[in-house]
């Protein structure tokens, strides 16, 4: 019989010992970002309070809608600034 062990992968073990090495993977807005651990690929995002929370499908949807709104708003403000500088 083979023994089965639930030993974590080497990179996950590294994160358990030394902590995660998060890197910004996506800038949703100037305040909201998505982070990914270089080693274990764990994903986090900032919530409404500014704290880091796990990136669930619910937060992915919220971030995508927030990003669309943010892009539209910045695009409109750039157009407005450009048109007002012409006149």
Residues 38 and 33: their CA atoms lie apart, in Å, by 16
Residues 70 and 74: their CA atoms lie apart, in Å, by 6
Residues 86 and 24: their CA atoms lie apart, in Å, by 37
Residue 11 within a domain: no
Q: Can you give the residue range of the structural domain that contains 81?
A: 25-86
Residue 54 within a domain: yes
At 54-68, the pLDDT tens digits run 999 999 999 999 999
Residue 52 within a domain: yes
Band of pLDDT at residue 75, cut at 50, 70 and 90: very high
Helix (H) or strand (E) holding 14: helix 10-18
Residue 18 within a domain: no
Residue 68 within a domain: yes
Residue 6 within a domain: no
Inform me whether the pLDDT recorded for 51 exceeds 90: yes
Domain count, the chain: 1
Band of pLDDT at residue 5, cut at 50, 70 and 90: very low
Q: What is the pLDDT of residue 52?
A: 93
> What is the DSSP secondary-structure string of 37-84?
ETTT--EEEE-TTS-EEE--HHHHHHHHHHHHHHHHHHHHHHHHHHHH
């Amino acid at each position: 019989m083979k023994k089965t062990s639930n030993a974590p992968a080497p990179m996950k073990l590294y994160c358990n010992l030394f902590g995660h090495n998060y890197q910004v993977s996506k800038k949703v807005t100037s305040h909201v970002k998505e982070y990914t651990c270089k080693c274990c690929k764990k994903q986090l995002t900032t919530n409404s309070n500014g704290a880091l929370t796990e990136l669930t499908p619910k937060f992915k949807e919220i971030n995508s809608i927030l990003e669309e709104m943010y892009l539209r708003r910045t695009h409109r403000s750039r157009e407005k600034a450009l048109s007002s500088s012409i006149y």
